[in-house]
A and B are shown apart, each in its own frame.
Chain A
Amino acid sequence: MTLPQQGDIEVVGSFGLIQTEEPSQKAIEGRSLGRIAWNRLKHDKVAIAGGFTVIFFVLVAVFAGPLCHLIGQSATAQHQNLTDPTTTMPLGSFGGMTGKHLLGITPISGNDILAQLIYGARTSLIIAGLATALSLLFGIGAGLIAGYFRGWSDSVISRTMDLLLSFPSLLFSIALLTVFSIVPSFLGLSGQPLRFAVIIFVLGFFGFPYIGRIVRGQVLSLREKEFVDAARSLGASNYRIMSREILPNLLGPILVYTTLTIPNYILGEAGLSYLGVGVLPPTVSWGGMLSDAGQFYQVDPAYLFIPGLAIFITVLAFNLFGDGLRDAFDPKSTR
């Protein structure tokens, strides 16, 4: 009883009116919104390039271990023999770039920058991905309940979301992370896993009202549609209507939101790590690398540019892909 999804309806026939354009035997197809969007997206070269960059980033993050094995370096091994003993700066030009250390080494400890970059991608992806999942979970749940049941539950949820949006979220995140940095263990987690969990929680929690509002607005109009009435008259339960009738129609906006939120959370995690309240050494993160590079950039600018460009390219790729996706799903778009 859902709206046409992914080619549920395939009207095959000869209406004869439009066929003048293409007189071949090709059948006219009733296309679903998803398929129209996909066709549009395929022709958006910029978005596709962004999409491939995103896939590349994900592959690097997933196969961080084998990749580092391939280049023969590890993120934690120190090569102090390659740094100048008096200045602690890497020997050679461009931050010590050589055939062995393709992107050079860090000052003082002499870690391989390429290996750190690869493991930093993993940190970014884990945190941004899980934080997005968390905010989707909260946001879709809250938005569905508020939009579907309306009344007092809508008032409570909407006011709570408004309130959260008027919180200074960065300072609250810093505060929470500070508090948890002195807590040895919580809910069975401790050390780095606890740290990751708290970062994911603060990013996801303060972000969920955005998706919550979008979902609520969509549900408010969807619940009045005929197919919902039809399902209800057939005796479908509220849960069934929400999960099987309404939710599938929200996939478009949710997908767009997801691709535009992940880059925000990548920047968020990098920012927290830069401030020294996010991911802490020895776990590598791009924000942490930039924070470290910030002490040496006058003498070793290469160390600053490498993680900076990595963040820039990844975030830009996600944004380009997300923008293309939004245009593809937008019925007003002419592209």
Chain B
Amino acid sequence: MTRYVLRRLLGAVLVIFVVSVVTFAIFQLGPALSNTSPVYYYIGKIPFPAGSVQLKLIEHRFGFDQPLWQQYWTWLRGILFGRKLDDGSTFVNCHAPCLGYSFRLNTPVTSLVKQALPVSLSLAAGAAILWLVGGVTVGVISALHPRSVFDRAGMTMALAAVSLPIFFTGPILILVFVYQLKWLPNISYVPITQDPAQWFRSMILPWIALSFLFAALYARLTRASMMETMGEDYIRTARAKGLPRRKVTLRHGLRAALTPIVTIFGIDVGTLIGTTVITETVFNLRGLGYLSVQSIHTQDLPVIMGVTIIAAIALVVANLVVDILYAFVDPRVSYG
């Protein structure tokens, strides 16, 4: 068991390493291909004419004149131990974990991420609970009563839901519940520590919009998995030896049917930090996705780089947790 966990851990570290190299490489590509000094994408302006000694000096201070692997190492060391940065006029001591410094916003990327993370986490956690419960419930009821009215209605809804983009359903939800019915206030994110009731009211529509799509996928998946499981021999055996139907369905059927759902749930929650981008934009939530989209418009490379690497780490960690949990849940997984 320990060996299995250690091996997975090593694999995860490797993936994070590769992801960080790729992220770094992507952002070196732009300045290199556009023949612009990388200084522009780091401080938002070219303070001195191209080719001037002063510009060369700033490039030197950022380390842009060093070989790429060395620049990567400086970036990585900054994340681990912190680094010092300056753009020629401001001198910044960026503490570890230093994901970079946005000279446009005069803020370390780490603190931007720290501000945005609770918003994204609130959104992701609430939506995940909602779609898991909703999707699995609909899927199980549909599987137990195939071809019933509920099954047909549920599956039709599910098919419609996977074809609806969030940037269409989101505005409709706002239009109906905020502007027409006036059931919900027109507010942006309120921290849970500040006012839990307002936090809930500010998040309910984003949760519904984001979970709608996933709930549909999970309902279809649970239905298929549950129907397959209920056809297995051991279910018939359990029924034959006189166990009540309810117990057979929940203990024997549902538990086995849920294992593939758990895998996909882990991956989906992991990628959620990346996929909340559109939901955050629609509902004007200042989360990680919103931050990266804003930084795209201002071409603030350090921020986009920081968000991307954080999202990648979140995904890898989620996969790791699922893999390890799986070994406990599913007796067929070998720990070798």
Answer whether residue A102 sits at the interface, using C-beta atoms and an 8 A cutoff. no
Answer whether residue A169 sits at the interface, using C-beta atoms and an 8 A cutoff. yes
Quick check: A168 and B162 within 8 Å, CB to CB?
no
Binding site for B on A (CB under 8 A): 163, 166-172, 174-176, 178-180, 182-184, 186, 263, 267, 270-271, 274-277, 287, 290-291, 293-294, 297-298, 301, 304, 308, 311-312, 315-316, 319-320, 323
Report the separation of the CA atoms of residues A183 and B314 in the bound assembly, to the nearest whole angstrom: 30
A305 to chain B, nearest CB (A): 8
B30 to chain A, nearest CB (A): 4
Report the separation of the CA atoms of residues A12 and B45 in the bound assembly, to the nearest whole angstrom: 79
Answer whether residue B98 sits at the interface, using C-beta atoms and an 8 A cutoff. no
Quick check: B315 and A174 within 8 Å, CB to CB?
no
* Interface size, chain B (Cβ < 8 Å): 51
Nearest neighbor of B32 in chain A, beta-carbon distance? A183
User: Which of chain A's residues have a CB closer than 8 A to the CB of B123?
Assistant: none
User: Which of chain A's residues have a CB closer than 8 A to the CB of B316?
Assistant: 166
Quick check: A163 and B18 within 8 Å, CB to CB?
yes
Quick check: B312 and A178 within 8 Å, CB to CB?
no
Report the separation of the CA atoms of residues A174 and B308 in the bound assembly, to the nearest whole angstrom: 9
User: Can you list 15 A-B pairs with a CB-CB distance of less than 8 A?
Assistant: A167-B312, A168-B308, A171-B292, A176-B26, A179-B26, A180-B30, A182-B34, A182-B299, A183-B30, A276-B296, A277-B296, A291-B167, A304-B171, A311-B168, A312-B165
Q: Can you name 11 extra interface pairs (CB under 8 A) apart from A170-B277, A178-B299, A304-B171?
A: A166-B319, A171-B274, A175-B23, A176-B26, A178-B296, A178-B304, A263-B163, A271-B278, A275-B278, A301-B175, A319-B163
A117 to chain B, nearest CB (A): 14
Answer whether residue B297 sits at the interface, using C-beta atoms and an 8 A cutoff. yes
Quick check: A312 and B34 within 8 Å, CB to CB?
no
Which 10 residue pairs of A and B lie closest in terms of their CB atoms, listed nearest first? A308-B168, A179-B30, A168-B274, A316-B163, A315-B163, A168-B311, A183-B33, A171-B274, A170-B274, A274-B167
Quick check: B167 and A294 within 8 Å, CB to CB?
yes
Nearest neighbor of B23 in chain A, beta-carbon distance? A175
Nearest neighbor of B178 in chain A, beta-carbon distance? A298
User: Which of chain A's residues have a CB closer than 8 A to the CB of B171?
Assistant: 293-294, 297, 304
